[in-house]
Chains A and B, each alone.
Chain A
Amino acid sequence: MNTLAQRTPSQTHRVLSAEDIEALAVGAWILGTGGGGDPYQKLLNMRLLYEAGREVTLVDPLTLDDDAVVAVLSNMGAPLVGQERLSDPEFALKPLRMMEEYLGRKFDAVMALEIGGGNGVHPMMVGALTGYPVVDADTMGRAYPEAQMTSVAVAGLRCYPLTMADIRDNEVIIPRAASWRWMERISRKACTEIGSVAATCKAPRSGAEVKQHGVLYSVSKAIALGSNVLKARAAHTDPIEAVLSATEGKRLFAGKIVDIERRATEGFLRGKARIEGLDDFAGKEMVVHFQNEFSVAYLDGEPVVMTPDLICLLDTVSGDGIGTDVLRFGQRVSVLALPAPGVFLSEKGIAAVGPRAFGFDLDFTSVFKEPN
């Protein structure tokens, strides 16, 4: 760590190209496991920002000073709402400015709460707008629906303060909460009240905390993943294979969606999608359950993959991720499992994001436990 910390900025800071941002959007959507919001609008905003001459610097997390202060940014709420209330960089910046005012100091860098979905691109808009570097890390390695489902929560770090901004003139600061779960409950209620979508700045993290407890290099991983898929598309090779080869994932199922059931409760989108097998999987059926993200999948009634393993539903033809809010009858999808970051495989990790955390009475077993 020390030798890394002594590298020059030219070695540790990388200016992302417009192509990197395009790849990031593709990769983050796949890692979103159905949630985190479709990155498209944020990508559009990024294109406009890059056209206006702005850019983003990605910084190696291991070079952060221990006492650096990092803003953890995300957009909170139901993905469906984001399809109608379009993303806006100025709106994303608002809670960061609120937090700076509250703390009485400026941030040194920003990072994503979750690399999955639009939230993986979210801090890029703020980085492009302000010039703050974006840290190559996040706290989930994917997308999860709740605040206690982060690596920093599993590590038991402090959960407050939190700032939240509304598109109107409402601002919310939660100076203190009794636990991550309380923070989640309070902030979720506030978010639901202001229309199920809000820009937030979560509990700020020190450089030391990011280095020790963050999911490191997840931005680079998403860019590499997305770039693989884009290359496969250009070469007309199988994009699903491209995802597998970039992530050590497994192909679990391929078929056509024949039924979707959704219900919206407490700001979450819950439900399940029934997929009828095609080709190699003909005659079989997979049911994938979701709470914002995909949580458990059953093959012919048997649970075969569950969180924290990443369950990705991808468009079989394009390799694009598919959000739980836009699942549609007739879609051709492939179901993949990708390995989870190590922090979530610990006992505390499983307690926070294992199947029971999503209401499934199942003992966690990973599809990656047995050799291929």
Chain B
Amino acid sequence: MKRIGIDVGGTNTDAALLDGDRVIAAVKTFTTADVTSGVRTALKEVIEKAGDEARDVVAVMIGTTHFTNAVVERRNLGRAAALRVSLPASASLVPFCDWPKDLAAKVNGGVYLVEGGHEYDGRPLVPMDEKAVAEAARKMVKDGIEAVAVSATFSPLTTECEDRAAEILKAEAPDIHVTKSSTLGRIGLLERENVALMNASLIGLARDTTKAFVDAVAESGLGAQLFITQNDGTVVKAEAAREYPVFSFASGPTNSMRGAALLAGLENAMVCDVGGTTADIGCLVNGFPREANNVVEVGGVRTLFRMPDLLSIAVGGGTKIGRDPVTVGPESVGYRLSERALVFGGDQITATDIAVAAGLISLGDPSKVADLPADFVQAALGKMHENIAEGVDRMKTDATEVPLLAVGGGAMLIPEKVPGISEVIHVEHSGVANAVGAAMAQISGETDRIYRDMDRDEAIAHARSAAIAAAVEAGAEESSIKVIDVEDLPLSYLPGRAIRTRVRVVGEAAALKEEEPA
């Protein structure tokens, strides 16, 4: 069964064609400003490289760090309004109150607090002020806002207020995109609202990006299905991904770590993935990234949803290097590496230039960095080594020495000796580990429903069957399906002992082969 994995990073767009676990062909290309042409080029090149072997590719799986980079670098973000249904409660901690000020200034498209929301036991807190919601919607239209995040007290238990508010918004402002917090996060109003606000601020970018992917795959002539990879190493169909860009936030590093595990044949190790913009450091446990325990910060904002436990530091191939004094990042030239870096004829010293000057890699025109003083090159390299070693140390959970898998286009920036690391392993195709990880992503199935008059074990068993059915429906091979997440919440005082149960499963995409032969 053949699949193509594509990873669209801030700097590089990589593609890998896999047959099962075997990498048939892999290519590395530059990410382009319009994204589409980069993906098209990567697809074309990998198909050419694979030759006859590319004929029966059944699926293309695309992972992208676009959305995370947008938040981290505060670029391409739309303004999003916050509509919170919670008054008279929660008035002192308003939406955006725990955001970094610069990011809030870019995203905040108005804050609206209205009366309503629910209690823990399913009763309304106070009736929702529908007039206030309609007024808010009209004000948003006047302000030219394109997206709104709606949150309501206890919406993970009762979506009533968010659903009704969304209806009113649709009626009053049909062009404004609505993100409901209950579709994204769990209990924890501020953190769930933060995720919804980020999602809303990314909707424009997500639409453009997804369309670009769809077009590129359609033009490739493969006739393959398109999937987008998610934070947990699974894939969903493109339409689902377009509505929920936050679920793709950490898919790049997840893919990279999963790909590294496959390529190295090692399931337990530290992984450092040096891309164009950041180095992402994580810990592989049994082939999957260790999951973050609880709240995860994205671009300085607290969020609460399932993410791998990662540390991102500002070291990448495109990282800007300062000369006097010697500084590393945090800015990056991103996808403009091919025009901005010295070795490509640009005027900005980047980490790539340092790597070329130090003889770690040969790229572009080395004569352009020949006059960089050796002590400056060593100082900049030393600083990057220090930052990476510190990051690896922070992510280690104990003193035992473990191997470190060096992956990504900037893997040459990883030092050969790192404290607490038994050996630094560079694997074949490590430059495209993320694309390999995307290609091997599994199909997921999820269910989230309320059961009544059932004990917990019975409710979970029912939810498990429903999730498995959903995964099979999406094309997963039934015998390979595993449960990856079970969560249940008791809902007290509702009639008939209610329990809300959420189950997520994953399976191999084997069924795709029969379904859609190329």
Interface footprint category on B: 35 or more
Contacts A85-B90, A195-B125 given; indicate if A332 touches B293 (C-beta within 8 A).
yes
**Cβ–Cβ contact A88 & B90, under 8 A:** yes
**How far is B293's CA from A264's CA once the two chains are assembled, in angstroms?**
23
| B91 in the interface (beta carbon within 8 A) | yes
**How far is B89's CA from A88's CA once the two chains are assembled, in angstroms?**
8
**How far is B115's CA from A167's CA once the two chains are assembled, in angstroms?**
12
**How far is B88's CA from A48's CA once the two chains are assembled, in angstroms?**
20
**Cβ–Cβ contact A331 & B490, under 8 A:** no
Taking CB atoms, residues of chain B closer than 8 Å to A330 are 291, 293
Chain A's nearest CB lies how many Å from the CB of B91? Answer: 6
| B449 in the interface (beta carbon within 8 A) | no
**Cβ–Cβ contact B119 & A196, under 8 A:** yes
| B294 in the interface (beta carbon within 8 A) | yes
**How far is B302's CA from A41's CA once the two chains are assembled, in angstroms?**
12
Residue-by-residue, is B112-142 near A (CB-CB < 8 Å gives 1, otherwise 0)?
A: 0000010111010110000000000000000
Among A112-120, A286-294, A314-322, the one that faces the other chain is A314-322
| A66 in the interface (beta carbon within 8 A) | no
Closest to A271 in B: B490
**Cβ–Cβ contact A90 & B153, under 8 A:** no
Chain B's nearest CB lies how many Å from the CB of A119? Answer: 17
Residue-by-residue, is B77-94 near A (CB-CB < 8 Å gives 1, otherwise 0)?
A: 000000000101111110
**Cβ–Cβ contact A44 & B294, under 8 A:** no
**Cβ–Cβ contact B397 & A332, under 8 A:** yes
Starting from the known contacts A44-B97, A326-B294, 13 additional A-B residue pairs (CB-CB under 8 Å) come to A81-B119, A84-B117, A85-B90, A88-B90, A167-B88, A167-B89, A167-B125, A195-B119, A262-B489, A263-B492, A265-B492, A328-B487, A329-B487
**How far is B486's CA from A329's CA once the two chains are assembled, in angstroms?**
7
**Cβ–Cβ contact B398 & A83, under 8 A:** no
Give the 8 A-B CB pairs with smallest separation, nearest first: A86-B90, A264-B492, A88-B92, A85-B89, A167-B89, A195-B119, A86-B93, A83-B188
Chain A's nearest CB lies how many Å from the CB of B126? Answer: 7
| A150 in the interface (beta carbon within 8 A) | no
Chain A's nearest CB lies how many Å from the CB of B357? Answer: 31
**Cβ–Cβ contact B89 & A86, under 8 A:** yes
Contacts A195-B120, A265-B492, A331-B293 given; indicate if A84 touches B486 (C-beta within 8 A).
no
Within 8 A of B (CB), among A209-256: 236
**How far is B91's CA from A48's CA once the two chains are assembled, in angstroms?**
13
Residue-by-residue, is B93-106 near A (CB-CB < 8 Å gives 1, otherwise 0)?
A: 10001100000000
Residue-by-residue, is B415-433 near A (CB-CB < 8 Å gives 1, otherwise 0)?
A: 0000000000000000000
| A100 in the interface (beta carbon within 8 A) | no
Which A residues have a C-beta under 8 Å from some C-beta of B?
A: 41, 44-45, 48, 78, 80-81, 83-91, 167-168, 195-196, 236, 261-265, 279, 315-318, 320, 322, 325-326, 328-332
**Cβ–Cβ contact B88 & A87, under 8 A:** no
Within 8 A of A (CB), among B188-243: 188-190
Taking CB atoms, residues of chain B closer than 8 Å to A318 are 293
**How far is B90's CA from A44's CA once the two chains are assembled, in angstroms?**
12
Query: CB < 8 Å: which of B86, B93, B488, B490 contacts A44?
Result: B93
**How far is B489's CA from A167's CA once the two chains are assembled, in angstroms?**
25
Taking CB atoms, residues of chain B closer than 8 Å to A316 are 397
Query: CB < 8 Å: which of A167, A261, A317 contacts B397?
Result: A317
Chain B's nearest CB lies how many Å from the CB of A132? Answer: 19
**Cβ–Cβ contact B126 & A168, under 8 A:** yes
Taking CB atoms, residues of chain A closer than 8 Å to B21 are none
| B513 in the interface (beta carbon within 8 A) | no
| B390 in the interface (beta carbon within 8 A) | yes
**Cβ–Cβ contact B93 & A84, under 8 A:** no
Query: CB < 8 Å: which of A41, A168, A315 contacts B88?
Result: A168
**How far is B86's CA from A318's CA once the two chains are assembled, in angstroms?**
32
**Cβ–Cβ contact B93 & A41, under 8 A:** yes
Chain A's nearest CB lies how many Å from the CB of B499? Answer: 9
**Cβ–Cβ contact A86 & B492, under 8 A:** no
A-B contact pairs, 16 of them (CB 8 A): A48-B92, A48-B97, A86-B86, A86-B93, A88-B89, A88-B90, A167-B88, A168-B126, A195-B119, A236-B393, A262-B490, A322-B293, A328-B294, A329-B485, A331-B294, A332-B293
**How far is B285's CA from A279's CA once the two chains are assembled, in angstroms?**
13
**Cβ–Cβ contact A88 & B390, under 8 A:** no
**Cβ–Cβ contact A89 & B92, under 8 A:** yes
Residue-by-residue, is B165-199 near A (CB-CB < 8 Å gives 1, otherwise 0)?
A: 00000000000000000000001111000000000
**Cβ–Cβ contact B92 & A90, under 8 A:** yes
Chain A's nearest CB lies how many Å from the CB of B467? Answer: 15
**Cβ–Cβ contact B91 & A88, under 8 A:** yes
Contacts A45-B93, A236-B390 given; indicate if A86 touches B190 (C-beta within 8 A).
yes
Query: CB < 8 Å: which of B98, B153, B490 contacts A263?
Result: B490
Closest to A49 in B: B92
Query: CB < 8 Å: which of A78, A91, A261, A315 contacts B120?
Result: A78
Taking CB atoms, residues of chain A closer than 8 Å to B119 are 81, 195-196
Taking CB atoms, residues of chain A closer than 8 Å to B290 are 332
Taking CB atoms, residues of chain B closer than 8 Å to A196 are 119-121
| B154 in the interface (beta carbon within 8 A) | yes
Residue among B120, B397, B398, B489 with the most chain A CB within 10 A?
B120
| B44 in the interface (beta carbon within 8 A) | no
Residue among B92, B290, B390, B394 with the most chain A CB within 10 A?
B92
Chain A's nearest CB lies how many Å from the CB of B122? Answer: 11
| B385 in the interface (beta carbon within 8 A) | no
Taking CB atoms, residues of chain A closer than 8 Å to B456 are 261
Chain B's nearest CB lies how many Å from the CB of A359? Answer: 18
**How far is B489's CA from A317's CA once the two chains are assembled, in angstroms?**
26
**Cβ–Cβ contact B394 & A45, under 8 A:** no
Chain A's nearest CB lies how many Å from the CB of B204? Answer: 29
Chain B's nearest CB lies how many Å from the CB of A198? Answer: 12
Closest to A257 in B: B293
Chain B's nearest CB lies how many Å from the CB of A335? Answer: 15
Residue among A84, A90, A317 with the most chain B CB within 10 A?
A84
Taking CB atoms, residues of chain B closer than 8 Å to A236 are 390, 393-394
**How far is B86's CA from A196's CA once the two chains are assembled, in angstroms?**
16
**Cβ–Cβ contact B120 & A84, under 8 A:** yes
Chain A's nearest CB lies how many Å from the CB of B284? Answer: 14
Taking CB atoms, residues of chain B closer than 8 Å to A315 are 293-294
Taking CB atoms, residues of chain B closer than 8 Å to A80 are 120, 187
Chain A's nearest CB lies how many Å from the CB of B114? Answer: 15
Query: CB < 8 Å: which of B92, B117, B121, B125 contacts A45?
Result: B92
**Cβ–Cβ contact A84 & B490, under 8 A:** no
**How far is B189's CA from A80's CA once the two chains are assembled, in angstroms?**
10
Taking CB atoms, residues of chain A closer than 8 Å to B120 are 78, 80-81, 84, 195-196, 264
